[in-house]
Structure 1
Amino acid sequence: MIQPNTVITGDSLTVLRSMDDESVDMVITDPPYGIDYQSGRKEKERRLAKIKNDKAPFIWWIYDAARVVKRGGGVLCFARWDVQQTFMDALRLAGLTVKSVIVWDKKAHGMGDLKGSFAPRYEVIIFAAKGRFELPGKRPDDLIACAKVGNQSLTHPNEKPVELLEQLIETTTTPDALILDPFAGSGSTLVAAAKTGRQYIGIEIDEHYSQLAATRAAEHQKGATA
């Protein structure tokens, strides 16, 4: 059994298979979408490396994520408009019920085709439940406006703002919940869990990011319990 407030360096597929059935309350994660993106806004020597397994939508973790989440819990999965159906189909095939697609307004647009498409300003978060899920508090809107992490502040190429993760955690779980992030990255989900009084388990394949996530989360865990 994995102890709470732990970050594991390893392949999420392997680690998830070792976890007990119905052992976590909520899975909140930002898996590889298939973007294979690297920002060109920083000087070449300062650009963050591309993340692993990002050549196509990475869905193979979903079956075991559905297995380890408790009945009455669920999965919050980040995605993008052009791949969200792939993730929704995989969540349904794993036995979960897709309840909502949350729109995250990043308050600033990205790049893309500058002359041939609308400027991308949002990402989606798919919420899928296992069995009957009930919100612990007030019903939230399915639109969240939260500024993205600025390019000069990024520690991970796909880093999500802690404030956004805090909102998701507080609206879907109670303070005694155990949050799992199989693609922990720089640890934003884990930091948000610690800051809101939840426990966490993170899995990250890249040793550098795993260590960063563990350090960031532990700092806030100490602050929450001091």
Structure 2
Amino acid sequence: MPRRAQPAATAHALADALGLGTLAATPTSPNRLAWAGGDGRALLYRANCLELLDRIIERHPHGFFDMIFADPPYFLSNGGVTCHGGKMVKVDKGDWDRSQGPAYNHEFNLAWLQRCQAALKPDGTLWVSGTHHVIHSVGFAMQQLGMKLLNDIIWEKPNPPPNLACRTFTHSTETLIWAARTEKSRHRFHYRKMKADNGDRQMKSVWRLPAPAKGEKAHGRHPTQKPVELLLRCIEASTDPGDRIFDPFNGSGTTGVAALRSGRQYVGSELDAAFVRLTAARLEAEA
């Protein structure tokens, strides 16, 4: 029978190490600890990730996390349509995903990437997922910040929705950029495990993985939800058991689920109350 999560105010090993104490609410964020796993391995904040990262960096100027996985807004909610379940539906996901122009979008990417870089340990790494709407800005921003780009991974979706306009190729991939904190970082890579997982052959940078299974959405769904298998591969490739992982755009909490399943610690930041509740239910089921 799964252990029940303790109230957020209960003594908690990871919270003690993070050492943020009580956070002050602001006009843009509640900035509060919303959920804490009873086994001391996971924390979920309802917060603006920029404000939360500022507090983490203030408390840990030399870095706290071994890995960060970020699935930022793709800025594609501008009236387009796609196919879902054989029906035409809007791709608009909410105001958080609406573009305000390339200059603003890039400024935002620089802002959160700079904070993530500072929150990483010296040898930590950052994974960022995105479509062509955002990933080129992310890669350029990483170079501007002096990060070391290690790989770009292509996640190929075997059963993507059809292209209704029939004026471009069917969108069937997303790109993940894997980068080290700086050019001097001595990043971890579990080469032997990745090779063993790939039938004793070197793993290539094209990963063919299905979209999230029905069971992964049992507690609810997020419009850009990633499959647990994708996150497990990223985590197991670049971290050790017990390492600390952060997701600034927590969404449905897939990073947290994968972190707990692989024996890592997790801190997530999510501003939307509905997705905070969804994540808490998923992490509770993993505790």
Structure having the higher Rg:
2
Q: Match for residue 28 of structure 1?
A: 69
Deviation at 1:136, TM superposition (A): 3.0
Q: Match for residue 141 of structure 1?
A: 204
Deviations 1:112-136 (A, max 9, x none): 4531101111100011102221313
Deviation at 1:95, TM superposition (A): 2.6
The reply on whether 1:50 has 2:93 as its aligned counterpart is yes
Cα distance, 1:108–1:17 mapped onto 2, change above 3 Å: same
Cα distance, 1:203–1:84 mapped onto 2, change above 3 Å: same
State percent identity of aligned pairs.
27
Range that drifts further, 146-155 or 55-64 = 146-155
Counterpart CA distance in 1 for 2:170 and 2:93 is 22
AA aligned to 2:265 is: Q
Cα distance, 1:38–1:196 mapped onto 2, change above 3 Å: farther
Deviation at 1:41, TM superposition (A): 3.1
Structure 1, unpaired ranges of 5+:
none
Aligned ranges for residues 136-215 of structure 1 at < 5 Å? 136-138=190-192, 140-149=203-212, 153=217, 155-215=221-281
- TM-score (norm: length of structure 2): 0.69
Alignment check: 8 A CA contact 2:75 2:97 kept: yes
Task: Provide the aligned length of Structure 1 versus Structure 2.
Answer: 220
Which of the pair has the greater relative contact order for Cα pairs under 8 Å at 6+ separation? 1
Counterpart CA distance in 1 for 2:177 and 2:162 is 23
Q: CA RMSD in A?
A: 2.7
Alignment check: 8 A CA contact 1:156 1:186 kept: yes
Deviation at 1:188, TM superposition (A): 0.6
SS of residue in 1 equivalent to 2:232: helix
Deviations 1:160-179 (A, max 9, x none): 11111111111111111111
Pick the aligned partner of 1:18 from 43, 55, 60: 55
Cα distance, 1:174–1:186 mapped onto 2, change above 3 Å: same
Deviations 1:126-161 (A, max 9, x none): 111022213134254211111012699560111111
Pick the aligned partner of 1:75 from 102, 126, 149: 126
Counterpart CA distance in 2 for 1:42 and 1:107 is 16
The reply on whether 1:9 has 2:40 as its aligned counterpart is no
Deviations 1:204-226 (A, max 9, x none): 01011012112212321x2xxxx
Structure 2, unpaired ranges of 5+:
1-18, 21-39, 100-104, 195-202
Alignment check: 8 A CA contact 1:112 1:119 kept: yes
Alignment check: 8 A CA contact 1:51 1:157 kept: no
Alignment check: 8 A CA contact 1:48 1:156 kept: no
Q: Match for residue 121 of structure 1?
A: 172
- TM-score (norm: length of structure 1): 0.87
